[in-house]
Amino acid sequence: MNPRRKKRLTIVVSILAGVAAVAGFTLYALNQNIDLFYTPTEIVQGKADSGIKPTVGQRIRVGGLVVTGTVKRDPESLHVEFKLIDTGPMITVTYDSILPDLFREGQGIVAQGILISPTVLEASEVLAKHDEEYMPKEIAEAMGKDHKKLEYNKD
């Protein structure tokens, strides 16, 4: 390669390396702010690396799986209460509006709201999180996956 091209290549590569390093450090520094939600474990025990815990009254998002058998619906109103779990402790979410179609027990969801006590979130928005599994009904049934919409028990 002739020297002028070599020089230009060096300049371009070093600019790219510099920008990559800046972006890398920025993202590393902002790491926790880029996470969309806290997991239930992080709310109870704090973030794994920094130990930062959300405080009561703070507006946050929580993401986890809806614990089977914990969905309680008030027959008089839209009020619904359920527990969220990831790998550790559970937290309770209360919500007063219409749940998304994909909401069902065992489903991953993301709830945004205010932490009213160390383990209770008063949600103003509940979003369903979809996993990366795609399959037709027949296969899901063969694998024993529950695809039925949630049926609320009346009690």
Partner 1 sequence: MWKWLHPYANPEVSYHFTGKLIPWFTAISVILLVLGLGLALAFSPADYQQGESVRIFYLHVPAAMLSMGIYLGMAIAALTALVWQLKLAEASIAALAPIGATFTAIALLTGAAWGKPMWGTWWIWDARLTSELILLFLYLGVIALQNAFEDKSLAGKAASVLAIVGVVNLPIIHYSVEWWNTLHQGSTVSKLERPSMSADMFIPFVVCLFGFAFLVARIFGERFRAEIIARNSMRPWVKALVLAQEKN
Nearer to partner 1, 114 or 140 (CB): 140
The single residue among 14, 25, 31, 52 that binds partner 1, judged by CB under 8 A, is 31
The single residue among 44, 67, 120, 128 that binds partner 1, judged by CB under 8 A, is 128
The single residue among 36, 52, 78, 116 that binds partner 1, judged by CB under 8 A, is 36
Could you tell me the CA-to-CA distances from 33 to 21, 27, 30, 53, 57 in Å, in that order? 19, 9, 5, 13, 18
Dump the DSSP string for 57-96: T-EEEEEEEEPTT--EE-TTSS-EEEEEESSS-EEEEEE-
Nearer to partner 1, 96 or 125 (CB): 125
Site string for partner 1, 39-78 (x = CB under 8 A): x-----------------------x---------------
Listed ranges 47-55, 69-77, 116-124, 140-148: which one lies at the site for partner 1 (CB under 8 A): 140-148
Give the whole-angstrom CA distance, residue 45 versus residue 151: 33
Buried b (16+ CB within 10 A) or exposed e, 14-52: eeeeeeeeeeeeeeeeeeeeeeebbbbbbbeeebeeeee
What residue ranges bind partner 1 (CB under 8 A)?
5, 8-9, 12, 15-16, 19-20, 23, 27, 31, 34-37, 39, 63, 100-102, 110, 125-141, 145, 147
